[in-house]
Amino acid sequence: MSDGDDLWALVWGFLGISLLSVGGGVAALPEMHRLMVENQGWMDDLAFSKRYALAQAAPGPNVMVVGLFGWHVAGITGMFAAMLAMCGPTSILAYAFCRLRGHLQGAIAMRVFERGMVPIAVGLIAASGLLLAQGAAFGTGGAPLAIAISIGSTLFVWRSRFSPLWVLGAGALLGATFFQ
């Protein structure tokens, strides 16, 4: 496959994902995993989890990870192409919807719809986390420690109000010390 083909596959892939991503960028991660790892074979499980980790180490919307996947496939061009495909059309959609909404005042209908959709979005986010944990567990280091870090981090983020940065730092420290 030539580079150009990869770039188009990248753009079409993320365009499709963006139009279906209910509940934000992270909820679409399982579908990105399907595109990057299963369908196109651009990266393996561990590389996928590592790119996600790299995105988490930087500030910004979670969707920025798409830029890193794009970079992995086609360098900086891939980064911009993937980000534009992911954010461009949906932004236009949001803008158009906003214009229309001036007339619609279906606040109650909207709330009912939202209440039905939000659990799906949250479920998809949880599924993303599980896929990422699986990817991290099959690294070069030991799976038990990786799983322990993931569980510890889950509990920390769930039960405490401290910044998640602490968990990332602790994970980095434990990884650097104990993984070989």
Partner 1 sequence: MAKEGEAEAPIPGKIELFLGYVKIGLLGFGGVGPWSRHVIVEERKWLSERDYAEVLGLGQILPGPNVGNASVMIGRRFHGLAGSLIATAGLYIGPLCILIALSILYELYGTRPGVAPFMQGVAAAAAGMVIGTAIKMGQNLRPPPELIVVGLLAVAGAAFLRLPLPLIVVVLAPLGVFLSLRRSWKRAA
* CA distances to 93, 140, 148 from 179, in Å: 45, 7, 13
Return the residue of 7, 36, 43, 55 that touches partner 1, per CB under 8 A.
Answer: 55
Return the residue of 7, 36, 68, 81 that touches partner 1, per CB under 8 A.
Answer: 68
Binding of residue 21 to partner 1 (CB under 8 A):
yes
CB of 133 to partner 1, least distance (A): 4
Binding of residue 49 to partner 1 (CB under 8 A):
yes
CB of 13 to partner 1, least distance (A): 12
Binding of residue 13 to partner 1 (CB under 8 A):
no
Binding of residue 22 to partner 1 (CB under 8 A):
yes
Separation between Cα atoms, residue 148 and residue 5, nearest integer Å = 40
Contact 86, 63 (CB under 8 A): yes
Residue 106 identity (one-letter amino acid): G
Return the residue of 10, 74, 81, 83 that touches partner 1, per CB under 8 A.
Answer: 83
CB of 134 to partner 1, least distance (A): 8
Separation between Cα atoms, residue 154 and residue 113, nearest integer Å = 29
Q: Which residues of 130-163 are buried (b: 16+ CB within 10 A; e: fewer)?
A: ebbbbbbbebebeeebbeebbeebeeeeeeeeee
Residues 99-118 that bind partner 1 (CB under 8 A): 101, 105, 107-108, 110, 112-118
